[in-house]
Amino acid sequence: MIQVQNLHKSYKGNSVLRGVDFKANKGEIIGVIGKNGAGKSTFLEIIMTLKNYDEGEVTVFGQDLQKLTEQQHQAIRANISAVLQPTQFFKNLKVEELLHLFKAYYRSNTNIEQIIKDFQLESHRKTYFEKLSGGWKQKISLAVAFLSNPKLIILDEPTTGLDPHMRNTLWTYITEYNQKTNGTVILTTHYMDEVEMYCDKVLLINDGKAELFTTPKNILALGYSSINDFYLQNVL
């Protein structure tokens, strides 16, 4: 799905990414971790074809991003969905109206009633988006992201600020999507318990460099009591 080799990116002489290697296969959930400002968002924006890069090679769905036309970039983006922070939609639209709007935008064949059923949205289908709690807004955002049946979903701290019950609920939808579609999920998070419980692999970006890319199981085998313990001992 994605192959990244020796990726470099700078802004006005400030090096943000300094040699990142990465690989994502179908069906994987991969956590990208590191401190704020480590380069995680820039890394994801490059994968989403939203930003150019200076050196290295990035292949998405088998295509080298540096060699594509804008039309070909658009075709790749059509197979990617993202849930970013903070979530903002049209304030004066109800949940059901938002789903129909984005279905038309994506030209999706997805059945809206099935989405409402799958995400248990019936009780809020007539609620205005701005009236929803933070957890419900994230839930709606996931439902919208799934409307296009994407090959790749990018999630930027999808459970930040949510209570444990809503965090568990959102992860249920993410893992079920992964199992049903054999798609790929790449996410950033500061919750190391989520990485340990749900991610197949973890990429640690420290000061723009990929310092580790392996499975949570391999990290724990090094003698750490938890992924959180590993993070606290190894992040600058």
CATH of the domain at 19: 3.40.50.300
pTM over cut 0.85: yes
Residue 226: pLDDT band (50, 70, 90) is: very high
Identify the CA nearest to 137 among candidates 87, 83, 187: 87
111: in domain: no
pLDDT for the residue 87: 64
100: in domain: no
CA distance 21 to 80: 20
Query: Which positions ≥6 away from 167 have C-beta within 8 Å?
Result: 159, 191, 194
Contact 184, 152 (CB under 8 A): yes
Q: What is the pLDDT of residues 136-173, one digit of tens each?
A: 888 888 888 888 888 999 998 888 878 888 888 889 88
Contact 189, 196 (CB under 8 A): no
> In terms of residue numbers, what domain contains 201?
2-79+150-234
pLDDT for the residue 86: 61
Average pLDDT value over all residues in the chain = 89
Q: Is the pLDDT of residue 95 over 90?
A: yes
Residues 33-62: what's their mean pLDDT?
Answer: 91
Task: Name the β-bridge partners of 154.
Answer: 82, 186
Structural domain count, the chain: 1
